[in-house]
Amino acid sequence: MELISYDEYKKMGEKEIIKKILSSKNKIIIINKKLSPDEEIKLIEQAMNYTTGKEFKGIEIASITKQKKSSFGALTKIISLFLKKEEGITLIGNANVIKKIKQSKEGAILKI
Amino acid sequence: MVISKIKSFFRNKLLRIFRKKKHIVLGFYGPPNAGKSTLANRISKDFAGEEFTTSSEIPHETREILIKEKVLIKKGNKSLTINLVDTPGLATKIDFEDFVKKGLKEKEAKKRAREATKGVIEAIKWLDNVDAVVVVLDATKDPLDQVNITLIGNLESRNIPFIIAANKIDLKKASAHRIREVFPDYEVIGISAKTGEGMNYFYEKLIEILSR
């Protein structure tokens, strides 16, 4: 596993992240932030550029958010829009090794 | 994040006002084998008298964008002219061995895999061209999947109106309720694109969403 900060991820870009995953079959990258849907889809698009269907089948990806419980509900959500970035992580792995990253309400399970 | 959302909202609103578009471009998006093509064909047959795409048990049957233009959809006293856009299934991975298991020879399976990856890229790029989307999910499968989450997240962030079709409710294992539980903030309509079950209500809701 390789932990990458979100800032480092932004500097590298989606192409370099996919190349990193390609460089090692067993590579699992953990980014210390939940990627936005736009970032996720760009990653998927980039993965498809390199997917051959055999040597590299693509990626497994899961973005997991830690939901903060608050008695102020909607107010907390409004405040969080203007303050700190959403907590969470993003897992990205080589689909040749990881069969599935199964999402659940509690987190994620890696099936290898 | 807030600023980009505001920018996206105004960009889409302004584009819709100033763009002299006659027909609504309706995309059918979702994972492979959810029934996008079957649903697009049903709508095309119901309102234009003919199908325009093919479907199959083998995943990634649709590997390029297919369009049926100027389909007049009517429900009661409401009607809309739309362009139906059938898209390749979205996936984060494609394995040619999945096609071999479905009976294809290795050479054919590899070719299908290469075409499917290009199809996914094309489908993603086409999100820039659609006015509204039907997200087609297989109601017999677990909807808590990154592809579904990413797709719906993108539609939200781009302010593209959408409706979720929980397809294949004619099958025993189907549960539209399970999809509603995972995506409680959105309109989820149980249908069978194959048998036509639920399609009347689906058309009502579709026209409602497209008319907004």
Which string of b and e fits A87-100 if b means at least 16 CB within 10 Å?
eebbbbbbbbbbeb
Pairing status of strand B78-86 against strand B66-75: antiparallel
Distances (CA, A) of B73 to B39, B49, B65, B69, B70: 14, 12, 21, 12, 9
Residue B15 lies in a domain: no
Which pLDDT does position A71 carry in this prediction? 44
Task: Identify whether B38 is part of a domain.
Answer: yes
Domain-located, residue B16: no
B residues 62..101 contacting A (CB < 8 A): 90-96
Domain ranges of chain A: 2-111
Q: Give me the mean pLDDT over the B107-125 stretch.
A: 93
B149 in a structural domain: yes
Q: How many residues does chain A have?
A: 112
Question: Is B93 within 8 Å of A95 when comparing Cβ atoms?
Answer: yes
Which of B93, B94, B114 is the closest to A60 by Cβ?
A: B93
On whether residue B17 sits in a domain, the answer given is: no
- Per-residue pLDDT band for A31 (boundaries 50, 70, 90) equals very high
**Residues of chain B above pLDDT 70, percent:** 90
pTM of the model: 0.85
What's the pLDDT at A56? 86
Band of residue B79 on the pLDDT scale cut at 50, 70, 90: confident
Nearest Cβ partner for A59 among B92, B125, B145: B92
Domain count of chain B? 1
Looking at residue B66, which CATH number applies to its domain? 3.40.50.300
- Residue A27 — very low, low, confident or very high, per pLDDT cuts 50/70/90? confident
Give B 13-32 residues with CB within 8 A of chain A.
Answer: none
Q: B147 to chain A: which residues are within 8 Å by CB?
A: 44
Residue B178's domain spans which residues? Answer: 2-6+24-210
Q: What percent of chain A has pLDDT above 90?
A: 36
* B126 belongs to a structural domain: yes
- Under an 8 A CB cutoff, do A62 and B117 touch? no
| A103 three-state secondary structure | strand
Average pLDDT over residues B40-57: 91
How sure is the predictor about B191, in pLDDT bands with cuts at 50, 70 and 90?
Answer: very high
Asked whether this complex has an ipTM greater than 0.85, the answer is no
Give the model's pLDDT for residue B4: 59
Distance from CA of B110 to the nearest CA of A (A): 7
Say whether pLDDT at A97 is over 80: no
Asked if residue B165 has pLDDT above 70, the reply is yes
The answer to whether the CB atoms of A36 and B153 lie below 8 A apart is: yes
**What are A43-75's pLDDT values in tens digits?**
999 999 998 777 888 999 988 876 544 444 454
Q: Are B20 and B50 in contact (CB under 8 A)?
A: no
